[in-house]
A and B are shown apart, each in its own frame.
Chain A
Amino acid sequence: MSSVAPDPPATQAPEKSWTVKVREAGVEALPPEKLLPDGQPTYVASWIYMFGVASIASLIVIITSGSILALKGPAWWHYTGVGHFFNSVHLWSVELFFFAMVVHLWGKYWMAAWRGGRSRVWVTGAITFLVAVPAALTGYVSQQNFDAQWISTQAKDGLNSVGVGAFFNVTNFGQMYSYHVLLLPIAVVGLVSAHVLLVRKHGVVPPFKLERRKAALATAASAGHDGSPAGTDGGAQS
């Protein structure tokens, strides 16, 4: 007589694979309607956000022109007209990137963009600026001309004066070029990507007036009033 093994309890749910867990966490954090929304609040119609988008547009030009320069090698930009052109495109897109990013950063600082649980949005933006500075510096010292020689020796003194000169040799072209074409661009693009995804996740910070008006309405509603915004500063932008 053969024995039959008992069935496992039917109530036990199957173990989720890591791919399912990652997918579910991703969709929960950024559902499609948040990742690619139909529209934005009316207060997003501001020049300050145009400068944020201009920063990303500049970064795309930087990466594209930098990739072409990297493909052709670290001397091409000195002895060919096309090389000069892409070198200039790369330089001026960096100038525009910093210009637009700083104006965007100033605007977001005075708008206190970290309000409402958006601290990571602000921090990723600010750190992007801090990481972009050495990304640009390593580019200036990789030019292989007298300008690069001057900047690298000045930077060497500066870095030594703050005690980090043992970690970075800004007069070492190979090290600086590697930082410039690989490590720091990865960091900048990663931070910008995280910044944009966090903006999508948390939404753009509302104006102060709108936030105060919403708080006043919530207070009035909880107190059983009719919710009139009288006494608050009206004029919210949405």
Chain B
Amino acid sequence: MSSVGVLGAVFNLNHPAHTVDWEFIHLSVANVIVIAVMLIVFALAIVLPFPGAASRRAARGRGGSS
């Protein structure tokens, strides 16, 4: 089975897009999912510490060069 066939088996794309409708807002479900993922990633980018940031601050506090 081709890769297209495998993907076709997972996602049935043979239909019009599902949409979210609220007043004048008209979005495809795919776009809503992408927007939601972006908001989640943004929140995580703010909340999660960057790897190595704490040790870098500590080294800077001790007068290190990093």
Q: Which residues of A contact B (CB under 8 A)?
A: 39, 42, 45-48, 50-51, 99, 102-103, 106-107, 237-238
Contacts and interface: CB of A to CB of B under 8 A. Distances in A.
Contacts of B38: 99, 102-103
Most A Cβ at <10 Å: residue of B42, B56, B57: B42
Contacts of B56: 42, 45
Interface of B: 34, 38, 41-42, 44-46, 48, 50, 52-53, 56-57, 60, 65-66
A48 B53 contact: no
B4 to A, nearest CB: 10
Contacts of A45: 50, 52-53, 56-57
A106 B66 contact: no
A48 B48 CA distance: 11
The majority secondary structure among interface residues of chain B is helix
A50 B46 contact: no
A155 to B, nearest CB: 16
A51 B53 contact: no
Contact of A50 (B34, B50, B65, B66): B50
Nearest to B53: A45
B60 A42 contact: yes
Contacts of A46: 45, 50, 53
Which 8 A/B pairs are nearest by Cβ-Cβ distance?
A: A45-B53, A47-B45, A45-B50, A42-B57, A103-B42, A42-B60, A106-B42, A42-B56
A47 B50 CA distance: 6
A103 B66 contact: no
A43 to B, nearest CB: 9
Most B Cβ at <10 Å: residue of A45, A46, A50, A107: A45
A59 B53 CA distance: 26
Contacts of A237: 57
B25 to A, nearest CB: 16
B60 A103 contact: no
Contact of A107 (B34, B46, B60): B46
B45 A103 contact: yes
A14 B57 CA distance: 50
